[in-house]
Amino acid sequence: MRTRIVFYIIILLLSRAVFLNAQLKNAEFGVGVLVGGSKLQGDIENTHMGLTGGLMLKYGPIPSFSFTATAIYGQMTTGLNAIKTNLLSASLLGTFFILPNNDFRPFVSLGLTRFHYTTKDGAGQQLFRNNGSPISAWQSAVQIGAGFELFTGKRWAINTMGNYNITRVDELDAISQGGNDGFFHGLIGLVHYFKTGKKTNSENLSGTDFNQEPLTGDKNVESKIIQTIQNTPLDQFTNGIYFERGTATLSAKSRKQLHEIYRYLDTHPDEELELLGVSSENQSTNELILERANAVKTYLINLGIEAEKIIINTH
C-alpha cells in the first residue's frame, strides 16, 4: 500500500510538472555518473560499505523540481565477508531543490526503487531458502534521500546524495527474523546539463568589473512583449540600471534589476528585450550609450539569455 501511495504522488507531480513545462518551456536535461558505497541494514549488525557505481538521468521541468532516474549496481557485505549480497537497482525520484537558483542547490528526494538481489556466502556460493529455492528475487522499495548539487560551470555540476531504501523483504542478509531489511546508498557524481546558460553566475564579464551573484529578489517583472530600458549618460538609469559615472561599467546597484530581467526572459522564451542605444544628437554621448547597451546585453548573455532575444535599437 505504501509503495502505491508513493507511486500516485509521483504521477501527480509528473502531471503538474509537465503542465508547467508546457507553459514555461524552460526544461533542462542532465546525464551523469555516480560512484560510492552501499550498506545493508538487516538482522546482522556488523555490515560493511561495499563499492557501488551507476548512471543518472535528470529532467527538470521547473528550477525547483526535477525527476531523477538512477541505475546502480553494487555489493553489500556482512562482517568478515560472511554474507555477500549483489544488488542491482533502478529508481525514479522526485527531487525538490531548496535553493533552485543558486550554484549550490541542496535537495530532498522521494521515490520508488525496483531492485534485484542475490545473496551468497563468503566464498561466492549461492545461498538457498528453507524450501530449496535460491535467495534471489526482484522486489520494490520506497526511497527517501537528501543531498546537494554544486555547479562548477554552465553545464557541469557535482552531485552528492545519500538515500535509504525501505524494502518489503527480510532475506537480504540470508536471515529472516521478522523485520524487513533495508539498504543505504552514499553517492557522489558528475552531471552534464544540456541546457545552455544554466545556473552558474561565477564568470566575469568582458569589458566590466561587475561581479555576478546568485539570483535574488522577487519575480514581479513587467509582463509585456518588448521591455525597453532607456539609457542616458548619467549614473542612474530608469528601471534600476546603473553605471559608473562616465563609463560603460555596470554598478553593483544594477544587480537586482538585471536578474529580474533575466528571470523574465528565461521564463518567457517568446519575448524580447529592446535596448535603446541612442538618445541624442551628440555623437560622443551616443557612443557611450551604445557601449552601455552592449554591456547590459553582454551581462544577460552571460547569464544564459540568447543573443537574438536582446535587440539594440540605434535609430
| Whether residues 10 and 104 fall in one domain | yes
| 158 and 307, same domain (yes or no) | no
pLDDT value of residue 228: 39
Kindly give, in sequence order, each residue whose CB lies less than 8 Å from that of residue 13, ignoring residues fewer than 6 positions away: 65, 94
- Cα(60)–Cα(3) distance, integer angstroms: 23
Residues 221-279: pLDDT tens digits?
A: 333 323 334 443 334 544 678 777 778 788 877 888 888 888 888 887 778 887 776 66
Give dist(CA 315, CA 301) in Å, integer: 23
pLDDT of residue 130: 87
Strand partners of residue 108: 96, 146
Distance from the Cα of residue 58 to its chain's centroid: 8
Lowest mean pLDDT: which of 60-69, 213-222, 267-276, 295-304? 213-222
pLDDT in tens, 108-120: 999 999 999 999 9
Q: What's the rounded Cα separation, in Å, for the pair 123 and 278?
A: 80
Instruction: Say if strands 47-48 and 65-78 run parallel, antiparallel, or are unpaired.
Output: antiparallel
Same domain for 183 and 68: yes
Cell of 102: 543558486
Domains contained in the chain, number: 2
- Tell me the sheet residues that pair with 39: 184
Domain limits for position 93 = 2-193
Domain presence at residue 106: yes
Same domain, 112 and 182: yes
Classify residue 209: in a domain, yes or no.
no
Indicate whether 128 and 23 sit together in one domain. yes
Tens of pLDDT, residues 166-194:
999 988 888 887 788 999 999 999 999 88
CATH number of the domain at 121, please. 2.40.160.20
Confirm whether 221 is domain-assigned: no
Considering 193, 218, 244, which residue would you say is the last residue of a domain? 193
The model carries a pTM of 0.57
- Of 7, 121, 34, residue with least CA distance to 15: 7
Q: Are 100 and 116 in contact (CB under 8 A)?
A: no
Residue 66 pairs with which residues in a beta bridge? 95
Mean pLDDT on 196-206:
37
- Give yes or no: residues 151 and 289 share one domain: no
Taking each helix axis from N to C end, the angle separating 255-267 and 283-303, rounded to the nearest 10 degrees, works out to 60
Question: At 286, which CATH number?
Answer: 3.30.1330.60
